[in-house]
Every structure is written in structure tokens, then in C-alpha cells.
Chain A
């Protein structure tokens, strides 16, 4: 459920979102009537309801700013003689979306195209819940592997077969108030946030920002959130250069010392004085836009919300404080959910559609996401996007969740990693105990029989 405060309502949406159409109603009616009149077994309407539908059915989980931008992109590719006929379905972000996606694929009548976080691929592709892409077909429509960063492309595959085409990379970054950061002396000669380089530097930056605002320095909302703590931890942990892998059956391969180092640093950073340790997600956004802090650690996707405030918004990739550059990120990617009897013509159309949308991703960048399709990044119009272009290089050092069937965006795994981290930040437990707890939780999950293997 989304408890987000209502986004500013749109002006009486011209040409409303593509939803279920009157055509659909007629089709359902005929299917039902046909089944009744023919006194056929009810399964007679089994195929007719979904199959003879000419529109391409597309599933995603984008609401609010992202949702409207996706509408714009779909509208853009629907124009013209070769425009697409798209039936878009939006489901709730998170487990409910992924559950429906898996169930529809298991049922064999899934949508033609769906969005999936790349971090979730390991829970779908091995279990036969996705169908592979035809790379020749994609190439025919002008999209090849060379159009993507190698690090990102590597995550689109299972057993050497490509199951996903990335739309974006959306990193966990820092937003800052340019005026305050300037006052705190944190900007470089070009007016961008200067590199940190060490834990002490980030701690120091927090103190300077707090002085500059007269209130708090760095804001981070994590209380009751089911991902934020994990994003923060995963980013910092990756910077230590240690690896985090989840082999089936357990135990998890985690460098406990590095993890303790990271959690201890998080506790020092969010000490409850300079930088608050007890904010929830929306509290951190409200605090930042209200000028009660100079910097906020958030996903790049909050860009649109933050832009509506009066502050002069700057953004930078998540500061490197440990040995190695790394940024926590995920990628909204297109997949082909498994269909029992795919129609080759529709499959072709699905490939063409994905290629067309990926090329529209300059529009998508308005939401703060970094386009995965590199030709768009190279465009001058992308370089002109402020502050998006300031963190475009984050995609090059993107670190996703360790691949495992239960991990990834909106997963129970992230939620369970967040609980001990939250306790640690709130001061209810020590860094070491929190890390041990994380290891135990991961081990419990790994001990479950892998249902997709």
C-alpha cells in the first residue's frame, strides 16, 4: 500500500491513461455470451478472453511522477502509422507486483511485456517464469548489447541467455541544497559537491552542513522502511571491496569485519545530534525540502518530488568514503513473462516495443533515473539535464543486490536486512550484534530449499 501523501493532481488528464477500453468490455461480453450460448464447457472462453486481443499488454509498477512519465513515453511510441496499441496495467510497487507477475507467468497467460528490477531476475529466469529475448530481433530494431554498460548487461543473463533489457539504472545518491553546501564550503570549483574520500570527510561534511543550516546536517529516513537501510549499507559495504554472496544452502559469504566497520560508521554518521537517526522516509524528504538539513540520502527517483521545493537542488553520486568507488543501484528492465503459447507476431511486436521505449529514455531521465541505453547518455540534451548529469557516472560503478531467488528490490530479504540495521541506528543494539543478526537472517533464508533451482 502506498501511504504517500497525494501527489499534486494532474490537470484533467487529456487523453486519459491507457486503461481497459470499451473494446475490452465488448470482447468479454462476447466471450461470455459465446460460452453460454454454445453451452460449451466454460473453459471454452479460456483462450478467447486473453488471446484475440490485438493490443500489446504491458505491466509495470510506476505510479506518481514515474507513472506519468511512462504514460508520456507510451503515448510517444503510440503515434504514427507504425505506432503501438498498448494496454498498460499498473500494479502496486513491491511484493504484490512481483507475486502477480510470477503467478501470471506460472499460469501461462502473462502480459506480453513487463518491467522487472534487474535484481529480481534470479528469482524468475531460472524458474522458467521468463522467456528469453531474441537478440537478432532486438538488433533488427536497433538495440544491441553494445548499447549498454557491460556491468549492467552482465546482470541481464541467466546461464548465458538474455532475459532482460535494461531501461535505466537508478542509484541511491545524495541530494543537497546548493546554497547550504556552498556556505559550508563543500563545493568544488565547478560548483559540484566535492569528493569526500574518507569516512572522516563525510562526518566533517555533516558537521559543516549542520552549522550552515543551524539545524541538522545529513538527513536519512529509515525507520520502518523496508529498503533504505539496506541501500545505505550495501553502498558502503561495496566500497570496502569486500564481497557479499548468497550461495544456496548457506552460509552467506559476508566479510563480518568489513560489515561491522560499515555499520559502526553508519552509527557515527547518524549520531542523532549532527545528523538525525530516527527519521522515517517521508520525514527525511519533508525535512530536506523544509531546509532542516543540507543533504539527503535518497534514491535518484525522488528527484521530481524534490524539484518541486524552493531549494536550489544539487545531486551527486553517493560519496566514496572507503577504498573503492561503488554506488548501490538497481535497474528497471523489460522482461518477457512466460507464456504457454506465445504468438510469434506478438513476440516480435514486444521486441519492437521495448526497443522503441528504450530509445525514449531521455524522457525517463526526467524522473532522475539514468538511462541504460548509452546512445541517450551521449546526447547533448542529456548532458544539459541538471542535476541528473551530475551523477550519470554512478551507473558505471553500480552495485546491485547479490543475485539470489529471494533477494532484490521489494523483497523479504531487504526487509530482513533492514531490521537489525534500524536497531543499530536507533542505538538499540551494537554494530557487531546487528551484523551477526544480518548473517543469521541471510542464513535462514539460504537454508530454505531454493524453489526456482
Chain B
């Protein structure tokens, strides 16, 4: 694990205090020990549920359901994982999650960057009004639209289709706004030069603006992907066919003939958790950055 982790580094141009721990904690021993202990305890508390889940998932059902404070109550076994994978539900849902989150990200990023650039540079009529509407829409909590959206999907005959899960998720006014502010800060000179050379507007966007904006686009993409991967309420409402469900929806909705079995339920939880945790281990800094930049609206 440690091989893939990136060492922390100061992220901003401004000199950071984190680079010099002594600036924060001083030179005394006591603050360091206290801070270290507090941090250790907090991290242990935060990791405990994972540890407990992993241990349970590696037990037989009988052992998992027997009382005791130790998470390991019997011999270790991979039986729970084997049964989950044999049943195949989790695989189908993981595929759906990947497909849906991937398409949502792709479409959202494409639609939003284009729109943001149009809003930033465009000179068409109604630009300000449309932009104002977009910004106002940031205030609308999407969860409050589930009833009319479901109604709409019935009308379009789209309930229980991928399209119904994906399409409403690609409207991201906040992302348009973040991208627009980024484009606003990009100097126009390069674009103008290309325009004078006769490049089309689309070409200017693709070959000049986009390459300059790679970090912010990546940040937006990561943020959208995490959101779509973990989204529950809308996919839950619009899919009833278990073959179309995403991981969180399938795991919450579809039950097992035997009833609740804890080793298996931990095993499926961990299998479902795995993809994003692995991605995080590889792209830790990118993900941290994207949350920090997009989380506060790019400020």
C-alpha cells in the first residue's frame, strides 16, 4: 500500500506551515506526544469498523454470529466471498455502477465544459439571463425533484432503463459555474491568435482552451464520478429491475433467500467498497485536490 501512496506535499504556491511542523507544534515534546496520541486514537476509531467488517467477512456464518469482543472467533475462511461471487449479483451491479458513473461523468464533463466556455466567452443574446438561471439552479436540491422526475420518466416510458438513471444526473449547474470561473481567469490572447489564424471556435476550444484546463476538468470529473458512483436516491427510485441496479441500490434492495447472513453481508459490502478505495490509493492527491477545489465551489 505504501508504495502507491503519494507523500504529502504543500499544495499551494504560498509557503505552508505544514512544511515545517515545528511552526505549528513548537519545539516542546509534550504537544507532539499529545497530538500524536489524539491522532492515533481518532484514526483507530475511524478504522475500527473496517477492521471489524473485514474480520467478520472472513469467518464462517456460525462463527460470525457467535458473541465475543474479538472480531476473529474461528478459523479464517473465504467462503463468504466465494458465495457472493458465485451468486453473481454483485458483479452485475458493479458493472452497472461503473457504466452509469462513467457515462454520467463523460456526459456531464462534456456538456458542462462546453457550456462554461460558452458562458465565459460567448457574446450571444440572452447569455446573462441563461447564466443567471444556471446559477439560481444551484439552489435547487435535486432530491426534491424525485417525484416529478419519476412522473416524467413514466411519461417518457424510461422507468427501468439506463437512460432514466443517467440523464437526470448530468445536469450540474455548479460544475458549469466552477468551470466558467476558471475559464474567466484564462487569458484570451492565445485564443485570439488562433482565431486570427482562422481556427474555428470549436477548434480553439479543443486545442487551446481544454489543454490549459486539464487540472480543473480532472477535478470536476473526479468529483462527478464519486457523486454518481455513490448516488442512491434517484437510481433507487427509478430502477426496479435488479439487473439494472447499481451497487448501492442492489445491495440495499435485493435480499437473499436465507435471510441476513453477516459474513456474507460484510463480504459484499467490502467488495462494493473496493473499487473506489483502490482508486483512492492510486490517485490520492488528485482526489484530495479535487474535493478541496470543487467542494468549496472552486474558491
Interface residues of B in 116-162 (CB under 8 A from A): 150, 153-154, 156-162
Q: Are B163 and A42 in contact (CB under 8 A)?
A: yes
Which of B85-93, B206-214, B226-234, B270-278 participates in binding chain A? Answer: B85-93
Q: Is the CB of B260 closer than 8 A to any CB of chain A? A: yes
Q: Are A110 and B89 in contact (CB under 8 A)?
A: no
Knowing A16-B83, A110-B240 touch, does A29 contact B95 (C-beta < 8 A)?
yes
Determine how close the nearest CB of chain A comes to the CB of B101; give it in whole angstroms.
13
**How long is the Cα–Cα vector from A296 to B162 in the complex, in angstroms?**
49
Determine how close the nearest CB of chain B comes to the CB of A76; give it in whole angstroms.
15
Knowing A28-B95, A28-B244, A67-B259 touch, does A107 contact B159 (C-beta < 8 A)?
yes
Q: Is the CB of A31 closer than 8 A to any CB of chain B? A: yes
The interface residues of chain A lying within 8 Å CB-to-CB of B267 are none
Determine how close the nearest CB of chain B comes to the CB of A53; give it in whole angstroms.
8
B contacts with A, residue count (CB < 8 A): 45
Q: Are A6 and B65 in contact (CB under 8 A)?
A: yes
Q: Which 10 residue pairs across A and B have the least CB separation, nearest first?
A: A107-B159, A67-B257, A9-B61, A104-B240, A42-B163, A64-B259, A46-B161, A109-B160, A63-B259, A90-B255
The interface residues of chain B lying within 8 Å CB-to-CB of A13 are 83, 258
Query: Which of B160, B162, B242, B256 is within 8 Å of A63, CB to CB?
Result: B256
Instruction: Provide a sorted-by-A list of 30 A–B residue pairs whose CB atoms are within 8 angstroms.
Output: A4-B259, A6-B61, A6-B65, A9-B61, A12-B79, A20-B242, A24-B88, A24-B243, A25-B95, A27-B243, A28-B244, A32-B162, A42-B162, A42-B163, A45-B161, A49-B161, A49-B162, A63-B256, A68-B257, A70-B257, A90-B255, A90-B257, A92-B255, A103-B150, A106-B154, A107-B154, A108-B157, A109-B240, A110-B240, A111-B241
A contacts with B, residue count (CB < 8 A): 55
The interface residues of chain B lying within 8 Å CB-to-CB of A4 are 259-260
The interface residues of chain A lying within 8 Å CB-to-CB of B183 are none
Give the interface centre of A5, A90, A96, A104 by most chain B CB atoms within 10 Å.
Answer: A90
Q: Are A89 and B242 in contact (CB under 8 A)?
A: yes
Query: Which of B88, B89, B157, B242 is within 8 Å of A340, CB to CB?
Result: B157
Q: Is the CB of B22 closer than 8 A to any CB of chain A? A: no
Query: Which of A17, A21, A50 is within 8 Å of B241, CB to CB?
Result: A50
Q: Are B257 and A43 in contact (CB under 8 A)?
A: no
Q: Is the CB of A100 closer than 8 A to any CB of chain B? A: yes
Knowing A42-B163, A67-B258 touch, does A103 contact B237 (C-beta < 8 A)?
yes
Q: Are B161 and A104 in contact (CB under 8 A)?
A: no
Closest to B244 in A: A49
Q: Is the CB of A135 closer than 8 A to any CB of chain B? A: no
Q: Which residues of B contact A (CB under 8 A)?
A: 60-62, 65, 79, 83, 86-89, 91-92, 95-96, 99, 150, 153-154, 156-163, 166-167, 237-238, 240-244, 253-262
Q: Are B153 and A107 in contact (CB under 8 A)?
A: yes
Interface residues of A in 1-57 (CB under 8 A from B): 2, 4-7, 9-10, 12-13, 16-17, 19-22, 24-25, 27-29, 31-32, 35, 41-43, 45-46, 49-50, 53, 57
Q: Are B241 and A90 in contact (CB under 8 A)?
A: no
Q: Are B259 and A19 in contact (CB under 8 A)?
A: no
Knowing A28-B92, A42-B162, A107-B160 touch, does A16 contact B261 (C-beta < 8 A)?
no
Closest to A36 in B: B103
**How long is the Cα–Cα vector from A49 to B163 in the complex, in angstroms?**
11
Q: Are A6 and B260 in contact (CB under 8 A)?
A: yes
Number of A-B contacts (CB under 8 A): 152
Interface residues of A in 248-281 (CB under 8 A from B): none
**How long is the Cα–Cα vector from A6 to B67 in the complex, in angstroms?**
12
Q: Are A45 and B160 in contact (CB under 8 A)?
A: no
Q: Are A100 and B240 in contact (CB under 8 A)?
A: yes
Q: A46-B158, A46-B161, A103-B240 are in contact. List 16 more A-B contacts (CB 8 A).
A: A6-B65, A6-B260, A9-B61, A9-B258, A17-B87, A17-B256, A28-B99, A32-B162, A46-B157, A90-B254, A90-B255, A91-B254, A104-B160, A107-B160, A108-B154, A108-B159
The interface residues of chain A lying within 8 Å CB-to-CB of B150 are 103
Q: Is the CB of A133 closer than 8 A to any CB of chain B? A: no
Q: Are A100 and B253 in contact (CB under 8 A)?
A: yes
Q: Is the CB of A441 closer than 8 A to any CB of chain B? A: no
**How long is the Cα–Cα vector from A29 to B89 in the complex, in angstroms?**
14
Determine how close the nearest CB of chain A comes to the CB of B184; give it in whole angstroms.
32
Q: Is the CB of A62 closer than 8 A to any CB of chain B? A: yes
**How long is the Cα–Cα vector from A50 to B166 in the complex, in angstroms?**
17
**How long is the Cα–Cα vector from A96 to B237 in the complex, in angstroms?**
11
Knowing A6-B261, A70-B257 touch, does A45 contact B162 (C-beta < 8 A)?
yes
Closest to B160 in A: A109
Closest to B107 in A: A42
Determine how close the nearest CB of chain A comes to the CB of B234; give it in whole angstroms.
13
**How long is the Cα–Cα vector from A109 to B89 in the complex, in angstroms?**
20
Q: Are B62 and A9 in contact (CB under 8 A)?
A: yes
Interface residues of A in 174-219 (CB under 8 A from B): none
Determine how close the nearest CB of chain A comes to the CB of B182; give it in whole angstroms.
29
Q: Are A64 and B258 in contact (CB under 8 A)?
A: yes
The interface residues of chain A lying within 8 Å CB-to-CB of B242 are 20, 89
**How long is the Cα–Cα vector from A86 to B137 in the complex, in angstroms?**
45
Q: Are B161 and A9 in contact (CB under 8 A)?
A: no
**How long is the Cα–Cα vector from A67 to B261 in the complex, in angstroms?**
13
Closest to A32 in B: B99
The interface residues of chain A lying within 8 Å CB-to-CB of B161 are 42-43, 45-46, 49-50, 109
Closest to B156 in A: A43
Interface residues of A in 313-359 (CB under 8 A from B): 340
The interface residues of chain B lying within 8 Å CB-to-CB of A20 are 87-89, 92, 242-243
Q: Is the CB of A71 closer than 8 A to any CB of chain B? A: yes
Knowing A32-B99, A90-B255 touch, does A25 contact B153 (C-beta < 8 A)?
no
**How long is the Cα–Cα vector from A269 to B255 in the complex, in angstroms?**
38
Determine how close the nearest CB of chain A comes to the CB of B159; give it in whole angstroms.
3
